[in-house]
Structure 1
Amino acid sequence: MKLDPARYARLSALLDEALELDASARAALLDALRGEDATLAAELAALLAADAAPQPLIDAPLVLPLTAGTSMHVAGERVGPFRLVRELGRGGMGVVWLAERDDREVRQQVALKLIHPELDSAFARHRLRRERAILARLEHPHIAHLVDVGVDARGSPWLALEYVSGEPITDHATRRRLPLARRIGLLIDVCRAVQFAHARLIVHHDLKPSNVFVDAHGAVKLLDFGVAALLDPAADAGDAAGPGVASGVTPAYAAPEQLRGEPATVASDIYALGLVLFELLTEARPWPPGQRPRDPAQAPPQASRMVDAARRRALRGDLDAILAKALAPRAADRYASAETLAEDLQRHLTRHPVLAHRTSRGYRARKFLQRHRLGSLAALAIAAAVLVGAAAALWQARIANRQAQRAEAVRNLLVSMFSIADPDLNRGREVTAAELLGEAARRAALAPGSDPLLAADIDATLGTLARRIGDYPTAQQRLRAAEAALAGAGDAAAPALLQVRLDLADALRLNGDPKAARELLAGLAAQLARTPPPVHAQALATQARVLAQLGELEQAERDANAALKLDEASGGAAAIVRDRNILADLSYARGDFAGAVQRFEQVLAAQRALHGDTHTAVAQAQQDLGVALAGAGRYDEAIAALASAHALYVRLLGTEHPAVASVLVNWGGALRQSGQLDAAEPKYRAALALDEKQLGADHPQTLLALNSLATVLTQRNRDAEAQALFERVLAGNRRVLGERNGQLVPTLISLGGLAFRRGDYAGAVARYREALAIADAALGPGNPTSDIARRGLGYTLAMSGDPDAGLPLLREAWEHHRARHGERHPEVIIFGSSLAQVLAGTGKLDEAWALARSTHAAALAILPAQHPFRAHAGVVLARIELLRGDLDAAGALVADLRAAHAVDYAAHAAAELELLDLQVRAARGDRDARMQLRERGAALRAQLPPLLRTQR
């Protein structure tokens, strides 16, 4: 008989539960199941009988019989980089092995999860890939993290998880006879891990003692997200189990709504936490196995009634109330979050009033007296102590209530802000992400109360949201407000304060202030050395990005490699991919386009292994690869990769998402670099229209699209249109970022280039000087952006007739860039050919020739024939060969340039090449060329900059 997935999942969950019970409890479970579903009970009984029979390792699996001849995994077999050691357990569709990686540099044990060979199916693979995607989002010290992923020899996916050597939390507590406070402390740690998952819209769905281990060091680890649910309704489409108990959940730990077949929610996990807490406190379940009431609305018994008299007093009161609230039959009556449950347990441990208890003045006074027994011993002081105690307890209860309300307040605020998207309120007008964020900020400012931690939570959340949608000034403002609130909140807020400061450093970087970001990170160095490795790795990764922006590529690479080493040892798969992505970006920044392509291909493969083929992370990786391919001159592949990224973004996000506009800009860039200017312009215009609609006219992404459109218009010799667009970009950046922000520099450089093209050398010099001053101030002297401005300024001064002023600037920029990037980098090539051109114009022919030859050789090695920088290097070398009298070399270079049709490096490029061609041919004795040179030479020279007009 073939089981449908929902029935199979329930049978598998029942089997897992039954295998944990003794013989009498199993019998009770089967009896109860027969009254509900006799067929399912018979199937479960058969499986239990099969499991009890002695079987060799390669015999039948726990769920379905193997087909004869099916290959099983065996000890010693290699799966990816791991060697299987021994089987740890089976359940559902999977088999978990202890496996080892031993590659000399890294020795690591993992729990390797494989699909059972007989049960390998599209459904099973979907479930494992889904678990992989969920685990990639969970990096927490109390959650067993994802180590690696891959595909085995049969093409089935596998997961390598952190191996936890320990035992279930209830067994650990019982065997070690842990005191009550220690048991509660363990459950608080579990709550924190569950809250971390909930904050990422993930519900565990199957919390039970066997999925919560305690390791050899006494730390809890949450396991098995194999049936976890995503709170995003679209993300779990197709996974519904149908009527009856929710798919995959263990019935003994299911919430009432799950028993009714309803989807799992945060409240369902709260209920399961309550059941685990019940077992920890009583060493028994609320109901005997198989005897849970059929009515899901029936509340469990009080824990204090399930224990002996010695323990009853400790459970009666607060703990009974906490359990009653966590195990309320109605989901709405339970704790709002795992965090509020943890906080209430913490309040009980510190003898503060708990929220679950119906507070009265007498109750609050008793809690005060419990905390301050010594102060109430004198009989004459009892009345005063009660009065003062009641007042103090009232104050502390209010604090406790505010703490419990913080998470709820943040959630309510972020939910309420979406009310402006109500079509009845906005009359059908589409609402942008920026408008939603602005509404949230407005409501936060109007929110009553002055709890600084609540304000910090809201500001930090809004800052993170602003950073993600690209509103970096708002992100910076909100994160600074959160930082100020947390800085005065004491040691308890230190972890949150550190995270806010790391987020602020990234926002500063994105907002064009990497110097401030570096200073902030430097101030955190001592604290980071004492933080858990994943946090330290995050800081190193952020610092690597900051240093890359400042041009310190070698140190950036050291930091990125250090982050990767930490994450490979103790981080999660998502963090490892992040680090590798940064290293790929650094390869691109160094001009190592082949290395960048290779690294981005690895990132793309890793994202596909983590998320499958249809995920926004895969689309982003395709986009990054496309940009690197374009840098390497592999334009057809680049355009194909970017088109694929665009199609995937549209499929996942629709046509109106800002991510679609981002890939359109890069797609247009690849088309532009390949010379397809007519095809590039519509891509830029489509991106610009989308960004303006969704993000607003002054958003950084909108201004980038506008800048890209202006660039292609410049290449199409539509300088007046380009000038107007560049001016709009500059004005927008000044409005948003201020007058001296580093983000203004690229646009100022572009405007300087346009002024040079039209012969306005004074205007060009002014733009370049402003760009250089801002870049030096914002990014520090010697940074790559300053050198680009310095090259533009030096070249303009020299070409306009002042080579003595321009030559030192050109030489400095070239030397800095060559030291930074090496010889074979596009910018080093244009810097070198510019310097050689000016050297030749000032009579330094030997130095000019040597530099021009090496520069041209580098251009031939890394740039395609149509690239404007390669064309400029060829023209400069041809001119110098002509000046040296080597007509053959000059002629060959001119012929190559004409064949490539690449003459768009400057407005005067066509005139310069035509004049050079006539001069070479005339020098070889071509009478027709001599005649044309006499007739047209003056007109051609008039189109050149002053320094070039005098060259023969």
Structure 2
Amino acid sequence: MAGQLTDRYVEAKRIAMVAMDVDASARDALIDGHVGEDAELAREVRWMLEAIERTHTATLPFAPAAEPPDLSGQQTQATAPRNYRILRLLGEGGMGMVYLAERCNEGFSQQVALKFLHAANEGSPILHERFSQERRLLARLEHPGIARLLDGGVMDSGRPFLAMEYVEGLRIDEWCDAHSLSLNERLVLFLKVCDAVEFAHRNLVIHRDIKPANILVTADGMPKLLDFGIARIIEEGGQVLATATAAHALTLAYASPEQIEQQPLTTGADVYSLGVVLYQLIAGRRPYQHLVTPHLLSNAIVGGQVLAPSRTLREAPADRRRPWRSIPADIDAIVLKALRRQVSQRYASVGEFAEDLRFYLARRPVRARRGRQWYRLRRFAQRNRWPLAAAGMVLAAALAGLTASLLALAQTRAAQRLAEQRQHDLERMVDFQQSMLQSVDIDAMGHALTHDERALVLARFDGAAGKTIDRTQLEQAFAGIAASGPAREALDAYVVSHALARLDKDFADAPLLAADLRQSLARVLLTIGSYAHAATELRQVVRVRQERLSDGDAALVSARVDLGEALYRDGQLEQAAAVYGNALPAVKKLPQADPMRVAALSGHARVLSAQGHLKQALDQQQTLYAGLAAHLPATDEGLLRLRRDRVETLTQLGKRDRARAELEQLVPLYQQTFGIEHPETLATTLTLASLLYSQDNEYERSLALAQDVAAIRERRLGSDHPLTLQARGLAASNEVRLALDPTTMAQVHERLAALIRAYRRVQGADNRHTLDAMTDMVRLLSKQDRYPEAIAMERQIVAGRTRTLGADHFSTLYARGSLASLLCGNGQYAEASAEGERVLAALRRQFGDDHPMTLATYDLIGRIETGAGRWPLAREAHARALEGRARTLGDTDAHTIESASRLYAVLLKLHDDASAKHVFATYLQPVIAMDPGSLNAGMRSVREEALAAVGPQATSSLR
């Protein structure tokens, strides 16, 4: 008898496992076919299926056994809230029961989903709090993809209730199967779910229980996210706030590893659950669905070994397979990235997850599979023994492929029947080939190009008779040549320029197609730093499209935005402003979050800021950000770039505390979203380094950050790329500030002179970065007391700034202030005073009395008057600088102490001991008492200036 029972159990389990692999609608027929007339065996199979299903979807902790469900709703009718009439039971879970009810109030009726706690749970304070938490969370979520909260409260009996929007629909997996949705249609539907979850995350709510049963699809195809019963609020650091109700509640089959391990949760938990839902939608079953006990299932989830959806589909029985025979590798990669064991290895946000799915639907490369192309290119360069020929072959092949793709694209436009599909395919190929040219490792290519040539020259030199040059000197000469320069010139001259020269001839009958190719190649020029050349080609693209397209055409707008960026990078600000201005009428008609609109408006604001129209630029940036923040995820690349632009504008306006507070958050966000070596991450890190340099005199930290960025850019872009030079320039600025002894100054002088030569060669004598480097050289010369040389160079800087920016631009005024300071140091007080007063008047007119530059100019005038011996005027100027700096920066700021030291010395000279004593006690004594070992280089210098101003005799006389 026992053997028969065991055999029956084994047979029932076998049939149940087979039935688990078919849709619920087909299970009854399959069971009947296996059990025949054995009704007892059929009951055993169905009981086992229900047990397995509960195991995989159970919500923990399990609720106490409740009374049998009231299908009619009569038992709760008498206790329903006022104005509600219960119709029938919709369902129940571990925490409560949900009824369909009718809300009748003041002449209207409305069907709602009425939710109560189980009677057995009403005595639980934890579940009461969780019920209240759900009401609070739903009240803050207004989104078409989230079931709305309509009412809620406590009945006279003390029993809490929620009245929610009644969603009449099917579970998302059942709806997809019932409507026979294709793979792409399922992805489009799933993206709507992602939009709802992302909205909840933006409102600092994490769902924690995303599963098909909580996603219903209405008859019109709109998914609704339900049941925020175990949702939680996200704190500022990104984790779920701990609460008294944070019991271990989860749906096991859809739970993330960190939920099972009861670790602190982030939005990554919802990303994982969405990954499970997507897996089920496309593969027909969940990961680990074959595991039948909670213990095995938990171990598998925590272990993180997920079978790819495509493999699950291939191994499924024939009657369980989807209409599609395979799942693309891109989808495999996306799903597996969402299901990574470690949160840090998943998508950083639901928005990033959805963006990758949109990339797939648009037939663009997905982020989940990035990195391989770069790896192959770098390995090729390292293996190549004859680099010149091989590199030429690779680049020529890429260019040939690009040309062939665009020719084929033109042919498909003529073929109406396959035009749309073919165009998408070819545009994807063009994008890939353009990105391959853009991602060429310039430095690696340059070293490969020069390595064998250097070896041949040295070998011939060693074999030649009558050598007159020392081999060591020859090696040093080779080492001094930047390898990236020849590589960039070769790529520009022999590949890109060669292709551009053939365009007019080869595409004479297709000018718009030629413009497409020209713009693609111009973007390559932008990437390698050939800004002027890129601008020349983009002007031609704009001209061709203007003649043949309307002003609002997307292709024309795209060319204008690219041209504006090229001109901005090349320092041609007036022309850049004009180009962006021509694009604005068309882009303002685009949707608010359209990438082209964001790029055009933020680019225009960036140019305004560079021109010195700071308040106008900031207003435009603030307005644009306010409109985008609600529609785009925080990690959107355009939104992040806009935030960085706003930081730079705030810095120039003197609002440096606000700028630094935002920047300290922005750098980690860039690193988390794009990686440490991404170009935008590097640019943001350099912005922080610049702020540290100019705000708090944190020269050591600023130098370290700038050197890190310079090293990465030199390795990836080459030593002469404008962006590399920009990072080296900021590093040199810090080195000038930190250089104290003659030996160090001489070394810094040599590096700075090489940098200025490189800037002049790459970007021209009047480029703003060239002039910035010259400004650092002026500062170094003045530290070496080489005033005539410094004054001569500063006059060149003033002339260059005036030519390119105008007489009243902030940078021009800064240069004039520097000239006044140098004249003062050289004893030319009359000219110095005239320059200082002109600068002060312009700064007060444009920025007001409290701008840091205005206060610095008051301090400068005080030093000029001190040098000239006009002590009352010196006291007036230094007192104004000190008062403003103390009020805006604080009593212990380095700039405040600097002004206090100078005013103190003047007061002693005027024998105003009472005022001197006040300045000493308020500002100087606290900084003198500081431990020098705890101060950065800037503050140590300020402390030393304070000590020098006070002096031992003056200190004793004031005590």
TM-score after normalising by structure 1: 0.54
What is the one-letter code of the residue matched to 2:916? A
Pair 1:664–1:55, CA change in 2 (3 A): farther
Residue segments in structure 2 that go unaligned for 5+ positions in a row = 1-17, 35-44, 58-68, 73-86, 99-114, 122-126, 151-163, 173-186, 223-273, 281-303, 335-354, 364-403, 452-482
Q: Provide the residue aligned with 1:59 in structure 2.
A: 92
Q: Provide the residue aligned with 2:324 in structure 1.
A: 255
What is the one-letter code of the residue matched to 2:762? V
Pair 1:923–1:421, CA change in 2 (3 A): closer
Matched, 1:860 2:929: no
Which secondary structure state, in structure 2, belongs to the residue aligned with residue 801 of structure 1? coil
Q: Provide the residue aligned with 1:921 in structure 2.
A: 954
CA drift at 1:792 = 0.7
Q: Provide the residue aligned with 1:698 in structure 2.
A: 720
- Counterpart pick for 1:411 among 423, 432, 435: 432
- Counterpart pick for 1:501 among 545, 556, 560: 560
For 1:267 and 1:568, the matched residues in 2 are separated by 20
Say if 1:749 and 1:771, in contact at 8 Å, map to a contact too. yes
- Counterpart pick for 2:147 among 75, 97, 107: 97
Q: Provide the residue aligned with 2:657 in structure 1.
A: 594
CA drift at 1:524 = 2.9
Pair 1:508–1:705, CA change in 2 (3 A): same
Q: Provide the residue aligned with 1:749 in structure 2.
A: 775
For 1:61 and 1:920, the matched residues in 2 are separated by 82
Deviation per CA, 1:48-95, whole angstroms, max 9, x where unpaired?
A: 9x9x99974562499x9999767888999343883458xx77xxxxxx
Say if 1:871 and 1:905, in contact at 8 Å, map to a contact too. no
Pair 1:152–1:414, CA change in 2 (3 A): closer
Say if 1:486 and 1:493, in contact at 8 Å, map to a contact too. no
- Counterpart pick for 1:149 among 201, 209, 230: 201
CA drift at 1:789 = 0.2
For 1:518 and 1:418, the matched residues in 2 are separated by 29
Say if 1:486 and 1:497, in contact at 8 Å, map to a contact too. yes
CA drift at 1:729 = 2.0
CA drift at 1:699 = 1.9
Say if 1:881 and 1:889, in contact at 8 Å, map to a contact too. yes
Deviation per CA, 1:443-481, whole angstroms, max 9, x where unpaired?
A: 854888424444443444455566567664565455445
Which secondary structure state, in structure 1, belongs to the residue aligned with residue 312 of structure 2? coil
- Counterpart pick for 1:354 among 416, 420, 445: 416
For 2:678 and 2:423, the matched residues in 1 are separated by 40
- Counterpart pick for 1:490 among 549, 555, 565: 549
What is the one-letter code of the residue matched to 1:354? Q
Pair 1:555–1:272, CA change in 2 (3 A): closer
Matched, 1:787 2:802: no
Say if 2:443 and 2:717, in contact at 8 Å, map to a contact too. no
For 2:718 and 2:425, the matched residues in 1 are separated by 37
Matches within 5 A, 1:389-468: 405=426, 407-412=428-433, 414-415=435-436, 441=496, 444-445=499-500, 449-450=506-507, 451-464=510-523, 467=526
Of residues 728-737 and 522-531 in structure 1, the stretch that sits farther from structure 2 once superposed is: 522-531
CA drift at 1:752 = 1.8
Say if 2:577 and 2:604, in contact at 8 Å, map to a contact too. yes
CA drift at 1:498 = 0.6
Matched, 1:547 2:608: yes
Q: Provide the residue aligned with 2:312 in structure 1.
A: 244
For 1:406 and 1:153, the matched residues in 2 are separated by 39
CA drift at 1:592 = 1.9
For 1:12 and 1:870, the matched residues in 2 are separated by 75
CA drift at 1:239 = 8.5
Matches within 5 A, 1:648-727: 653=675, 659=681, 663=685, 666=688, 670=692, 685-714=707-736, 715-717=738-740, 718-727=744-753
What is the one-letter code of the residue matched to 2:650? S
What is the one-letter code of the residue matched to 1:150? R
Q: Provide the residue aligned with 2:230 in structure 1.
A: none
Matches within 5 A, 1:35-184: 56=89, 59-60=92-93, 77-79=135-137, 82-83=140-141, 96-98=146-148, 149-150=201-202, 156=208, 167=220
Matches within 5 A, 1:166-565: 167=220, 227=278, 240-241=308-309, 243-245=311-313, 255-258=324-327, 263=332, 353-354=415-416, 356=418, 405=426, 407-412=428-433, 414-415=435-436, 441=496, 444-445=499-500, 449-450=506-507, 451-464=510-523, 467=526, 472-473=531-532, 475-477=534-536, 479-491=538-550, 494-534=553-593, 535-565=596-626
CA drift at 1:790 = 0.9
Pair 1:884–1:492, CA change in 2 (3 A): closer
Aligned residue pairs total 650
What is the one-letter code of the residue matched to 1:596? A
Kindly, what percent of the aligned residue pairs are identical? 17
Q: Provide the residue aligned with 2:258 in structure 1.
A: none
CA drift at 1:400 = 12
CA drift at 1:834 = 0.5
Q: Provide the residue aligned with 1:879 in structure 2.
A: 905
Pair 1:869–1:904, CA change in 2 (3 A): farther
Which secondary structure state, in structure 2, belongs to the residue aligned with residue 524 of structure 1? helix
What is the one-letter code of the residue matched to 2:92? D
Pair 1:522–1:691, CA change in 2 (3 A): closer
For 1:453 and 1:353, the matched residues in 2 are separated by 17
CA drift at 1:553 = 1.7
Pair 1:566–1:708, CA change in 2 (3 A): closer
Which secondary structure state, in structure 1, belongs to the residue aligned with residue 332 of structure 2? coil
For 1:827 and 1:239, the matched residues in 2 are separated by 62
Pair 1:664–1:753, CA change in 2 (3 A): closer
For 1:686 and 1:833, the matched residues in 2 are separated by 34
Q: Provide the residue aligned with 1:280 in structure 2.
A: none
Pair 1:29–1:822, CA change in 2 (3 A): farther
- Counterpart pick for 1:799 among 817, 821, 825: 825
Pair 1:756–1:571, CA change in 2 (3 A): same
TM-score after normalising by structure 2: 0.53
Say if 1:255 and 1:271, in contact at 8 Å, map to a contact too. no
What is the one-letter code of the residue matched to 1:587? L
What is the one-letter code of the residue matched to 1:852? H
For 2:517 and 2:845, the matched residues in 1 are separated by 46
For 1:563 and 1:724, the matched residues in 2 are separated by 44
What is the one-letter code of the residue matched to 2:202? G
Q: How large is the RMSD of aligned CA atoms in angstroms?
A: 6.5
Pair 1:595–1:658, CA change in 2 (3 A): closer
Which secondary structure state, in structure 1, belongs to the residue aligned with residue 313 of structure 2? coil
CA drift at 1:788 = 0.8
Q: Provide the residue aligned with 1:833 in structure 2.
A: 859
Say if 2:310 and 2:328, in contact at 8 Å, map to a contact too. no
Which secondary structure state, in structure 1, belongs to the residue aligned with residue 746 of structure 2? helix
For 1:908 and 1:423, the matched residues in 2 are separated by 42
CA drift at 1:543 = 2.1
For 1:563 and 1:821, the matched residues in 2 are separated by 23
Say if 2:442 and 2:717, in contact at 8 Å, map to a contact too. no
Deviation per CA, 1:844-902, whole angstroms, max 9, x where unpaired?
A: 54444233123113333455788653343123212321232213443653656654669
Say if 1:518 and 1:546, in contact at 8 Å, map to a contact too. yes
